Amino acid sequence: MTATTLPSKTNSGSQKFADWAVTAVTIIALLVGWFYKNSVVNRSLPFTSAGITARTPSGWMVTSAQGNEILHVTDPLSTGFGTTYTLENIPVASDATMDQVASMLTLQRGQALTAFRILGQESVIVYNQEAYEIKYVYVESNPNLTHNEIPNIVMGLDYIFLKGDHAVVATYWAEEKAFDSDLGRFHQFLSSLKY
């Protein structure tokens, strides 16, 4: 029997360069894709009403506002309960305090929302503005008994800002599972709020 030896494989300089070039092009393509995705996801549209301006997420459904609401937008890509932002412009007494407005708002929420429970409330500074934060939870269920949908646990976050004889309330509602992951986008919306 004769032994056959195979020639050993050596990487030439051009082969090493090609390997590095492929790796570099792949990394660059991934970075470009990531930046493009973020630019699409973070697109926003201007909103103005009653001297209040904000930037709402592009592609979200605008629902007709009711009562003191001046803005009601919902993410159509949310599963279950649609992540929602609202803005309210509520008339209050010119000497009203944050605590008084918060009490009025929690009373309204308690009457309108099923199984409403406050998780916490406190005075905060939001983007250099004094505000009052109320964090709560409630159950959202479809009132149409012909649907076999399971009720959703919705977490809510209200920020109350006083503006003379009006209180501006920015609200964030999201399904419990999506609340933390969607919160960053709400903070972008909140940072754009001017009143």
Q: For 170-182, what is the mean pLDDT?
A: 95
pLDDT tens digits, one per residue of 136-175 = 999 997 655 555 677 889 999 999 999 989 999 999 999 9
Give the pLDDT score at 16: 76
Tokens 């103005």: give the residue: 48
Q: DSSP letters along 21-82, please?
A: HHHHHHHHHHHHHHHHHHHHHT-EEEEEETTEEEEEETTPEEPPP-TTEEEEEE-TT-SSSP
pTM, rounded to two decimals: 0.76
**Which of 82-86, 100-104, 144-148, 168-172 has the least mean pLDDT?**
144-148
Whether pLDDT at 62 is above 80? yes
Q: For 99-116, what is the mean pLDDT?
A: 95
pLDDT tens digits, one per residue of 26-44 = 777 676 666 555 545 457 7
Angle at 105 between CA 153 and CA 134, to 5 degrees: 55
Whether pLDDT at 188 is above 90? yes
Give the pLDDT score at 30: 73
Average pLDDT, the chain: 86
Alpha carbon 45 to its chain's center: 14
